[in-house]
Amino acid sequence: MNKIKAFSTRNRKEILRDPLSYIFCLAFPLVMLIIMTVVNSSIPKQAGMTVFRIDNLSAGIAVFGQTFVMLFTALTVTKDRSGSFLVRMYATPMNSSDFTIGYILPMLIISFAQNIIIYIASFIISLITGVDMNIGGMILSVIVLIPSSIMFICFGLLFGTLFNEKSAPGLCSIIISLSSFLGCIFFDADSTGGAMLKVCKSLPFYYCTKSARSCVKLDFSGSTFVIPIIIVIACAAALGIISSAVFKSKMKADLS
């Protein structure tokens, strides 16, 4: 446990030491929150478009912010691999599980803090715009977002393990784009319907956003919360197992 704690602390410090982490993981999501709120104010009420209203937008931006935690997870792992840091660490008594937990845990804490800050900002915006937001729903949503945080972090761990510093960020960018457009963060796929909705439902990002939004509104019905959160948890578990297995395999290859 002490080994994991020490390794986790080191990784957390590495992330927090980089000014870009504050820009992408905190500033950018908050700026998007403000910009989309301004956009929402210019949409006529007759249009019936509520995806940019703060009670819907807040959860979407929280998921959007997690994608950048994924990016910095990948960057941290690739940097450690390219600098031979991990090869030297392999000489310690730590096993592959210690390493994967040591990468996931600090990123999860950062993502958790990020979500809290986003919801605090959202609540302030809701007071300014006159939109009712349930504080209890936001608190529960922060907890519900933990599985999606793990899922994105495991994406970053997987890409960082398999690819180098040039390739991993590019693959993370693909996931960021997919989660933004097909995760229903910036548009309402349920209202669109058709083939677009089917595509969205074929990816886990849609369920990340849907479960978080439902939680904010304290809507815990089966189709809007229970099924989506089960899918997100299953995807997070699957990616956790896959990324851990790939890291272990890569570790054995580096030691041989």
Task: Encode pLDDT of 187-241 as tens digits.
Answer: 888 887 788 899 999 999 999 999 999 999 999 988 889 999 999 999 999 999 9
Which one, of 22, 32, 26, lies nearest residue 57 by Cα?
32
Which one, of 222, 230, 210, 237, lies nearest residue 62 by Cα?
210
Over residues 113-146, the pLDDT tens digits come to 999 999 999 999 999 999 999 999 999 999 999 9
Range of the domain at 107: 2-255
Residue 58 has pLDDT above 70, yes or no: yes
> What domain count does the chain have?
1
Non-local (6+) Cβ contacts of 252 within 8 A are none
Output the pTM of the full model.
0.94
Burial (CB < 10 A; 0-12, 13-18, 19+), residue 101, is: buried
